[in-house]
Amino acid sequence: MSHRPGAGWLGACIALGLLLAVGSTAVRAQDSEASAPRISLLTFGPGEIYWQRFGHNALLVRDRSGRGGTVYNYGYFDFAQENFFQNFIFGRMQYRLATGRLDQTLSQYHYEGREVREQRLDLSPAQARALEAFLRWNARPENADYRYDYFLEACSTRIRDALDRITGGALQPLQQTPARLTLREQVLRLTAPDPLLMLGLDLILGPAADAPRTLWEESFVPEVLEQALRGVQLPASEALESRSIVKSEHTLVARDPRRGAVLPPEDPPPLASAFLGAGLLWVALLLLAQRYSRVAWAGLAGLQLLIAGAAGLIMVFITAATAHWAGWYNLSAAFYNPLAWLALPAVWAAARGRVLHRGHRALLWMLPALAAVGLFAPLWQDNLHHALFWLPAHLALAWSALRMARQHPPHATAAA
């Protein structure tokens, strides 16, 4: 067999060159991965103040040490903002993306007794750099403001949308996954520890809050987005296999039950039995007052009409003049009717024992009649519990007013 001098050296040089090239590529890849930012989703537990009841979330870009970092927070608003309360009423609130240090953020939530959980995201180096660049751009003063919407444009939906863009649509399967709860059910669940807030929000929400939703839409709740990310898979690339977007999870601040807010239940509280019981109690009070005290009856009846009329006017105002789309076309106006105020003179006349003319009687019976029509509203809106209170209450009011007027007719004056 022939042998060319130097062939062995040539082969060795080629092999050594290949090894050096592979090693250099590996070193560059390691350097690239090491230099890429580490990004996490932070989820904060609910707080005691009403705007904290839904919880909160933010994105964290950790520094090279891994112990600190910058928190990008889409939930910043300012009471000192010009026309703040006017914008709040009309649904034109302005929020902004603000940045803060991790240690300061954790200290604040520790002081409030609220839990802070971290999900480290398993983004590729290119995705992590792109997300960091986007956050830096978005945090500039000229880009930071945005029009806030409780369900469509909030802290959680902004983060959801940013992650979906950076990952090339990895979160899109959430749009085909049915939501566990409707918007109303999530609102009732999260505000259940504060009954007055819960009932107020339930009152102003319309049929849009009861439409079937997807997990994508339900992720306006930070806790829901946190849970949803556990099922999100990032597609495979040349350098990385298919994997979960969540690499690891840690609790950074434990909840302090001595200072923290009461945690919400897993499901919305049942309201039908409570409203029915309250309605029957109110009916009993009206009938007792009608029998024993005209003054007490007039006070109860007047309060009922004032509440019903005021709530109805708020519903009309939300639909006619605001951008609060989740409260538009509220079918509960069948029970909280603005026309209730027109029946106040009839209550005054009945309390004084006067005969009610035809217009008074028509107004009194119009309220339970409209409430009865409202029994069909639950086909489109989850408001049956309101009917269970207001239909008996309006019936009792009309019946007791007519009975009181008959029991105390005006004295006839005999002709001389």
Question: Which pLDDT band holds residue 215 (cuts at 50, 70, 90)?
Answer: very high
Give the tens place of pLDDT for each residue, 249-264: 999 999 999 888 899 9
Give the model's pLDDT for residue 8: 58
Query: With contact defined as beta carbons under 8 Å apart, do 330 and 205 qualify?
Result: yes
Would you say residue 24 has pLDDT above 50? no
Q: Output the CA torsion sign for 28, 34, 35, 37.
A: positive
Average pLDDT over residues 9-37: 53
Q: Output the CA torsion sign for 207, 210, 214, 217.
A: positive
Give the tens place of pLDDT for each residue, 279-312: 999 999 999 999 999 999 999 999 999 999 999 9
Look up residue 245 and give its two tokens: 């977007």
Angle, alpha carbons 260-264-269 (nearest 5°): 150
Average pLDDT over residues 221-233: 97
Give the model's pLDDT for residue 382: 97
Give the model's pLDDT for residue 27: 40
Q: For residue 402, what are the CA distances in angstroms to 8, 134, 308, 338, 390?
A: 116, 68, 20, 21, 18
- Average per-residue pLDDT in the chain? 90
Give the tens place of pLDDT for each residue, 85-106: 899 999 999 999 999 999 999 9
Q: Say what percent of the chain tops pLDDT 90.
A: 78
The dihedrals phi and psi of 180, each to the nearest 5 degrees, come to -75, -35
User: Measured between alpha carbons, how far is 164 from 170 in angstroms, rounded to an integer?
Assistant: 6
Entry pTM: 0.86
User: Measured between alpha carbons, how far is 396 from 282 in angstroms, rounded to an integer?
Assistant: 9
Q: Which of 413, 165, 403, 137 is nearest to 290 (CA)?
A: 403
Percent of residues in the chain assigned helix, strand, coil, to nearest 5: 55, 15, 30
Residues 6 or more apart whose CB falls under 8 angstroms from that of 266 comprise 189
**Residue 53 CA to its chain's centroid (Å):** 9
